[in-house]
Structure 1
Amino acid sequence: MGDERGMTRMLLECSLSDKLCVVREQQYEVIIVPTLLVGIFLILLGVILWLFIRGQRGQDRRPAVRGTAPTPPSRALSGEGAGHGENVCVPLKETSVESFLRATTPDLAKLQVPREQISEDLEKIHNGSCGAIYRAKLNTGDPAKSKSVVLKTLKEPAGLQEVQDFLGRIQFYQHLGKHRNLVQLEGCCTERLPLYMVLEDVAQGDLLSFLWTCRRDVMTMDGLLYDLTEKQVYHIGKQVLLALEFLQEKHLFHGDVAARNIVIQSDLTAKLCGLGLAYEIHARGAISPTRAVPLKWLAPERLLLRPAGIKGDVYGAPPYPEVPPTSILQHLQRGKTMKRPSSCTQTMYSIMKSCWRWNEDNRPSPRELYLRLEAAAKTADDKAVLQVPELVVPELYAAVAGITVESLSYNYSVL
């Protein structure tokens, strides 16, 4: 026992040159030093995370910048009354918006239209997603050469996010380039607030209103300006498909191909408009969850919230009058389709049914559909006028279609 105690004492009191003692001392260093380093790292990581979360909460608590008070056309475009909306929260500083506009205006220099060339006599035609839409005259210096344009405005007061989005839409049109069957961008005014986008005006307005006007004229037999025939329907359809094919080449799709989003010229040239969904796909890679598209114009894959492509644009889904909008998915899942309208030929109905196939792989592409319409047009009737006897009631149409009356064309009042 005594020898063992002596041995213990000797080991504990050994000199620094003793190998055993050195080993034990190094073992303590191997444990303590890494522990301190890990502790310091965790503390720093915790501080960084805390600062990040604090910043995120600060952004989440920041009120949204929105203008809610409607203003008359003259005030909305002149800048008077800006900032007087009753429900405006905390708008961003005007200087931040102005500095952003100064930085981006050079990129849009070729598109700038002098404000003095736009007439003050404005006709409000619609309420768009960004703001009011007006019809105006664009003066070119020669009164005989002034032309009608459509003015899309950004509602006021507008914060930096709204301004960025509005300019992004202008740049999107610039990116797309020109196509005969797309509504063209004429220019913009973005050097200062208020902002607006200048688009070409199309004489006959949207296709839905145009068809309703033709139906009214057929019913009253008061001298038709446009007698739509089967061949002319194919002609209009082919032009829309050319626009869709153009979007497909840009790796885009429209997402809401409906008569209300097609405008028509006096020579029956059709132009696709309403490119908001295409812009969101281009800018963000996805459709905003807040954007609402009428259910009866959605392909099954979009009703099921699956990824959609260009074949979702050739899915024909006119309003099913006997089916509530909220029941349209179940109706389609049962394999039911629209019955052939009385004024629709069997050839046309066969093409329509090919666009209603549940599986998008079984639907024709825009190019395939174009070729089918072109072949059908060769033998189509160009004499008999297509007549639909039902009365047009915009409010009833909106209820059946699952849309608001306000979202219908600005021209439906001609009925």
Structure 2
Amino acid sequence: MGEKRGTARVLLECNLSDKTCLVQGEEYAVIIVPALLVGAFLVLLAVILWLFIRGQRSQRQRPGLRGIASMPASRSLTGAAEGCGEKVVMTLTETSVESFLRAVTPSLAKLQVPRDQLSEDLEQIHKGICGTTYRATVISGDPAKPKSVVLKALKEPAGLQEVKDFVGRIQFYQYLGKHQNLVHLEGCCTERLPVYMLLEDVAQGDLLSFLWTCRRDVMTMDGLLYDLTEKQVYHIGKQVLLALEFLQDKHLFHGDVAARNILIQSDLTAKLCGLGLAYEVHAQGAISTARTIPLKWLAPERLLLRPAGIRGDIWSFGILLYEMVTLGAPPYPEVPPPSILQYLQRGKIMKRPSSCTHTMYNIMKSCWHWSEDSRPLPGELRSRLEAATRTADDKAVFQVPELVVPELYAAVAGISTESLSYCYSIL
């Protein structure tokens, strides 16, 4: 107690008898506290600047731009990858493009087609933002034999990233190899610009156009019989499933199975095209968020933006069967495209068309289970189609008296009218 009183007395004496002591104490407080605050602020600022500079350096040291350009939103009708995607803004020299082509061309040596073997007369099929598609003729052999091909030309001028993406699609075809029910690569020209991709030409066109022609009073045209029976629907369906099995074996899936993405030959051989999504999965491991596909063909998990798989193709295959038995009618005709997810969430599916047998409708319904695991795999479904073929009608042809009005079809199907004209897709 005595010590405390002594201390108080000393302080009191300092304040009363020595005013200098009090003034000096206040001066130290005024100087030291702001100095500490300023120092702390400078230290914090230095740390922030160091972290920012470090981040910038690490970004500059990263290797390249993945080697593949962002994928585009595809044409809503075909779902086909038109090529180049979102343009990457880069300052590139022509030499960098030429160097890339010189480096990659040897790996494509077996696919190279001499440019002087390409006919000068080109029939334009489609002109897109990333290039133009033509029907061309390759003249080779001795004696010279002309062969019709579909030529996809990358637009010019093309940046390095666009060239990489285009060549990447050629390499994807090289990886796939040939399958009787997939449109295959005939060759390429990559030694210099412009870069070309040559695809198999299926002159009869797409299945959707074929189905619409079947509605008319046309029996045959260009060697193709425009009559479709139940057994022929199974025949076409089995070929599509064979293509899906092939993709499944390579751990891929199609992503947009629909009549518009199937090409038909005069003997009703079906070839699945529109492989842009399969390329994305192969190159990037996932589907680009920029890509748009007509909603009415998508499985629920795709509508919910969940990871896609081969069983999503099975859902779409059920829609394809509906397209065939109705000769190209749009699915869910009574449902606006933006409302399709809510429609499915209520547990509803399409009703059986009057022209559809109960056997075929049961196959459709097996494709439309909400749960992916409840849907059959391509091989299992193909076995069911083969069994149904044995008792299928091969005499009665499907008939729909109404002709298609393209604008009305586009509105109901949820696609653009401009996309309805047939054009051969790059993938």
Letter in 1 for 2:365: K
| Secondary structure class of the residue paired with 2:225 | coil
1:286–1:88 CA distance, 2 compared to 1 (3 A): closer
Aligned match of 1:74: none
Aligned match of 2:57: 52
- 2: distance between equivalents of 1:126 and 1:405? 15
> How is 1:397-412 mapped onto 2 (pairs within 5 angstroms)?
397-410=409-422
**1:145 CA drift (Å):** 2.5
1:270–1:384 CA distance, 2 compared to 1 (3 A): same
- Aligned match for 1:385, one of 397, 412, 418: 397
Aligned match of 1:156: 156
Aligned match of 2:259: 259
CA contact (8 A) 1:204 1:264 kept: yes
Letter in 2 for 1:113: V
> How is 1:70-81 mapped onto 2 (pairs within 5 angstroms)?
none
Please give the per-residue CA displacement for 1:223-260, whole angstroms capped at 9, x wherever unaligned. Answer: 98332111011000000000000000000000000111
User: Mind listing any 5+ residue stretches in structure 2 that lack a counterpart?
Assistant: 1-43, 71-86, 320-329
**1:150 CA drift (Å):** 0.6
- 2: distance between equivalents of 1:54 and 1:335? 48
Please give the per-residue CA displacement for 1:181-235, whole angstroms capped at 9, x wherever unaligned. Answer: 00010000111111111011012111111111122235999x9833211101100
- 2: distance between equivalents of 1:313 and 1:202? 23
Matched, 1:319 2:331: yes
- 2: distance between equivalents of 1:166 and 1:224? 34
Please give the per-residue CA displacement for 1:154-207, whole angstroms capped at 9, x wherever unaligned. Answer: 122211111101111000000011111000100001111111110110121111
CA contact (8 A) 2:220 2:226 kept: no
CA contact (8 A) 1:208 1:409 kept: no
CA contact (8 A) 1:130 1:166 kept: no
Q: Relative contact order, CA 8 A, sep 6+: which one is greater?
A: 2
Aligned match of 1:30: none
**1:149 CA drift (Å):** 0.5
- 2: distance between equivalents of 1:142 and 1:54? 55
User: Mind listing any 5+ residue stretches in structure 1 that lack a counterpart?
Assistant: 1-38, 66-86
Letter in 1 for 2:364: M
**1:354 CA drift (Å):** 1.1
- 2: distance between equivalents of 1:145 and 1:213? 32
CA contact (8 A) 1:234 1:374 kept: yes
> How is 1:83-98 mapped onto 2 (pairs within 5 angstroms)?
92-98=92-98
> How is 1:305-384 mapped onto 2 (pairs within 5 angstroms)?
305-315=305-315, 316-317=318-319, 319-384=331-396
TM-score, normalised to structure 1, is 0.77
- 2: distance between equivalents of 1:141 and 1:243? 31
Matched, 1:395 2:407: yes
Residue identity (%): 79
Aligned match of 1:291: 291
1:53–1:89 CA distance, 2 compared to 1 (3 A): closer
- 2: distance between equivalents of 1:287 and 1:174? 20
**1:141 CA drift (Å):** 4.4
Letter in 2 for 1:115: R
- 2: distance between equivalents of 1:162 and 1:217? 46
1:311–1:47 CA distance, 2 compared to 1 (3 A): closer
Aligned match of 1:22: none
- 1: distance between equivalents of 2:201 and 2:111? 17
CA contact (8 A) 2:112 2:187 kept: yes
| Secondary structure class of the residue paired with 1:256 | coil
**1:343 CA drift (Å):** 1.6
TM-score, normalised to structure 2, is 0.75
**1:90 CA drift (Å):** 6.8
| Secondary structure class of the residue paired with 2:216 | helix
Would you say how many aligned residue pairs link Structure 1 and Structure 2? 347
**1:394 CA drift (Å):** 1.8
